[in-house]
Amino acid sequence: MILIVDDKPENIFSLKTILELHSFPTDTALSGEEALKKILKKSYALIILDVQMPGMDGFEVAEAISGYSKARDIPILFLSAASTDKKFITKGYSAGAMDYITKPIDPDILLLKVKTFYRLYQQNQELNLIQASLRSEIEFRKKVEGELQERAVELHSILESIPQIAFTTSADGKIDYVNEKWLDFSSSKHEFPPTHPDDNVDLAREWQRTVASGKALELEIRVHPRDSSEYRYHLLRAIPVREGENITKWVGTFTDIDDQKQAVKRKDEFISIASHELKTPLTTIKAYVQLLDRSIGPDEPSRMYVERTLVQVQKLDTLIVDLLDLSKIESGKLKFNKRPFVFESILADAVEMIRQTYPDYTIVRKGRADVEVFGDETRIEQVVLNYLTNAVKYSPDQKEVQIETGVQPDGQVFVRVKDYGIGISKEHQQNIFGKFYRVDEAAGKFQGLGIGLYICAEVIRRHEGVYGVESAPGQGSTFYFCVPIGSKT
Ligand code: ADP
């Protein structure tokens, strides 16, 4: 809007007509005082101001305007009588006005100047808008940066307080913070501590891979303090910190797990030594008891004791063999003697053995597997026996066990052992193939070490097969495995 200020209505009329003809919206004031009132209320793009007016003249009005912070930037176009007012023009400029036009007014020049001012006004408005949005953007960023800074400080003080080596990196994996403990292990704040040569891990490369994958890292490695050459096992864990979909940074720790590692190693060594040491005298005991068994007549009263001793010796033997197997798996020394064998024959043997050992149980056979399988016969039979023994053991009140076998369409031979016993809840099912895992509720009632299924799992894995369990508490369980027939590996 353009404000035309003139004491003569006819002048106002002609100016208004010219401007409105060219689509400029206008407002009018017949005196300086009225103009000032209007300027205070509304905002204008331009003020066309007659210099000679009774009361406040144009220059006085301009000077007053320059004192208003809201209006001081509005351009002013003075209307001056050609000869008389020119000497005042410089005064006009110094009061903040921007141009003048002499009377009588040439409409073309008027329009030219008005258009220029109007464009300037519009550009100014746009610039003001841009400036305002930039200012709020800067404010926003400052706020976010401040918050981030606060969070980083908080995170760093947490990482400083923990006993682990800790670090954070930017989203692209560059280390941007390390705690004090880090410097006990690495000479640089930007490089990972060196690892044991036997670990065969290039941490920098491993880290690049992790960052590229966007997935958490968990790695056991050995690092040593800078003031000692003794390497200690550490668990390196690093997780990405996300905001929505995006990773904004990574946080990682190295936890010293050397003591646990050594304890596990000592325990494994103990199990290995103890089971070896127990095995030798037990073999001798077993041999003598068997001799005794054969030398006692069928009607001798002591026969029953000898037979019971033999059963217990057999149980002890199985336990010790399992413990020996466990140590072999741990040390990577469980050997497999693979060659072709008829699958059906091991099933028949295993079922026969269970029937003899547990005569009060009914073992129902379903299907046949008359195929030749390439694998370790004894180990596969061990798995079948283990499944069957467990099925009997964990179903004290339901004396039927089913064993189903056959060849799957994909060419794998399968075995499913079903019992109607105590069953296993979902949460335990995923763990029972783990080492020493026993279901708490059952552990009190049934004896065992929790290593049978662990060995089964290893045997099936080493035959490139699949194993698992389907079960529900109180409903019985079905343990299954399948192995490829022709695998030569
Ligand atoms: P163990 O029988 O010596 O404890 P296993 O490794 O053979 O060790 O079995 C691990 C655990 O799995 C057992 O302690 C038992 O809780 C559970 N389990 C195994 N077989 C069965 C089954 N047929 N029914 C119910 N629970 C079973």
Asked whether the predicted pLDDT for residue 454 surpasses 50, the reply is yes
pLDDT-derived band of residue 489, with 50, 70 and 90 as boundaries? Answer: very low
Index of the ligand 1 atom closest to the CA of residue 453: 6
CA distance 487 to 464: 8
Span 78-103, average pLDDT: 66
Whole-number percent of the chain with pLDDT over 90: 74
Q: CB of 467 closer than 6 A to ligand 1?
A: no
| Ligand 1: residue whose CA is nearest its atom 8 | 450
> Chain-wide mean pLDDT for the chain?
91
Span 118-125, average pLDDT: 85
pLDDT-derived band of residue 325, with 50, 70 and 90 as boundaries? Answer: very high
Asked whether the predicted pLDDT for residue 369 surpasses 60, the reply is yes
Q: CB of 442 closer than 6 A to ligand 1?
A: yes
Ligand 1 centre and the CA of 120: distance in Å?
87
Q: CB of 433 closer than 6 A to ligand 1?
A: no
Q: Tokens 């023009």 identify what position?
A: 89
Q: Which residues contact 246 (CB under 8 A, 6 or more apart)?
A: 171
Asked whether the predicted pLDDT for residue 108 surpasses 80, the reply is yes
CA distance 339 to 375: 5
Which sequence spans correspond to the domains of the chain? 2-128, 162-256, 261-331, 339-484
Residue 68 or 406, more confident = 406
Span 50-71, average pLDDT: 86
The pLDDT, as a whole number, for residue 68 is: 83
C-alpha distances (whole Å) from 261 to each of 51, 221, 222, 232, 233 are 96, 11, 11, 9, 7
Q: CB of 465 closer than 6 A to ligand 1?
A: no
C-alpha distances (whole Å) from 436 to each of 40, 55, 465 are 87, 106, 22
Q: Tokens 């066990």 identify what position?
A: 401
Q: What is the pLDDT of residues 403-444, one digit of tens each?
A: 999 999 998 999 999 999 999 999 999 999 999 999 988 888
The pLDDT, as a whole number, for residue 90 is: 57
- Out of 392, 441, 453, 475, mutate this one to test ligand 1's pocket (max ligand atoms within 8 Å of CB): namely 453
Return the closest-CA partner of residue 458 out of 342, 333, 350. Answer: 333
Ligand 1 centre and the CA of 438: distance in Å?
6
Structure token digits, residue 173 = 């994996």
Task: Please give the CATH number for the structural domain made up of 2-128.
Answer: 3.40.50.2300
The pLDDT, as a whole number, for residue 67 is: 83
Q: CB of 387 closer than 6 A to ligand 1?
A: no
Q: Which residues contact 208 (CB under 8 A, 6 or more apart)?
A: 173
The pLDDT, as a whole number, for residue 87 is: 59
C-alpha distances (whole Å) from 304 to each of 288, 295, 308, 353 are 16, 13, 6, 20
Q: What is the pLDDT of residues 131-173, one digit of tens each?
A: 999 999 999 999 999 998 998 899 999 999 999 999 999 999 9
Asked whether the predicted pLDDT for residue 93 surpasses 70, the reply is no
The pLDDT, as a whole number, for residue 299 is: 86
Q: What is the pLDDT of residues 222-257, one digit of tens each?
A: 999 999 999 999 999 999 999 899 999 999 999 999
CA distance 345 to 379: 14
Residue 277 or 67, more confident = 277
| Ligand 1: residue whose CA is nearest its atom 11 | 438
The pLDDT, as a whole number, for residue 385 is: 96
Across the strands, what pairs with 242?
247
Q: Which residues contact 486 (CB under 8 A, 6 or more apart)?
A: 373, 374, 411
| Ligand 1: residue whose CA is nearest its atom 16 | 439
Index of the ligand 1 atom closest to the CA of residue 476: 24
CA atoms within 13 A on the CB side of 41: 8
The pLDDT, as a whole number, for residue 386 is: 96
Q: What is the pLDDT of residues 165-207, one digit of tens each?
A: 999 999 999 999 999 999 999 999 999 999 999 999 999 999 9
Topology (CATH) of 162-256 = Beta-Lactamase (3.30.450)
Q: CB of 450 closer than 6 A to ligand 1?
A: yes
Ligand 1 centre and the CA of 452: distance in Å?
8
Task: Please give the CATH number for the structural domain made up of 339-484.
Answer: 3.30.565.10
- Out of 315, 390, 392, 456, mutate this one to test ligand 1's pocket (max ligand atoms within 8 Å of CB): namely 390
Task: Please give the CATH number for the structural domain made up of 261-331.
Answer: 1.10.287.130
Q: Which amino acid does the sequence have at 418?
A: K
Return the closest-CA partner of residue 397 out of 315, 308, 476. Answer: 476
Structure token digits, residue 26 = 């206008």
Q: What is the pLDDT of residues 283-300, one digit of tens each?
A: 999 999 999 999 998 888
- Out of 315, 432, 440, mutate this one to test ligand 1's pocket (max ligand atoms within 8 Å of CB): namely 432
Return the closest-CA partner of residue 358 out of 323, 311, 317. Answer: 311
> What is the SS3 assignment for the chain?
CEEEECCCHHHHHHHHHHHHHCCCCEEEECCHHHHHHHHHHCCCCEEEEECCCCCCCHHHHHHHHHCCCCCCCCCEEEEEECCCCHHHHHHHHHCCCCEEEEECCCHHHHHHHHHHHHHHHHHHHHHHHHHHHHHHHHHHHHHHHHHHHHHHHHHHHHHHHCCCEEEEEECCCCEEEECCCHHHHCCCCCCCCCECHHHCCCHHHHHHHHHHHCCCEEEEEEECCCCCCCCEEEEEEEEEEEECCEEEEEEEEEEECHHHHHHHHHHHHHHHHHHHHHHHHHHHHHHHHHHHHHHCCCCCCCHHHHHHHHHHHHHHHHHHHHHHHHHHHHCCCCCCCCEEEEHHHHHHHHHHHHHHHCCCCEEEEECCCCCEEEECHHHHHHHHHHHHHHHHHCCCCCCEEEEEEEECCCCEEEEEEEECCCCCCHHHHCCCCCCCCCCHHHHCCCCCCCCHHHHHHHHHHHCCCEEEEEECCCCCEEEEEEEECCCCC
pLDDT-derived band of residue 43, with 50, 70 and 90 as boundaries? Answer: confident
Q: CB of 391 closer than 6 A to ligand 1?
A: yes
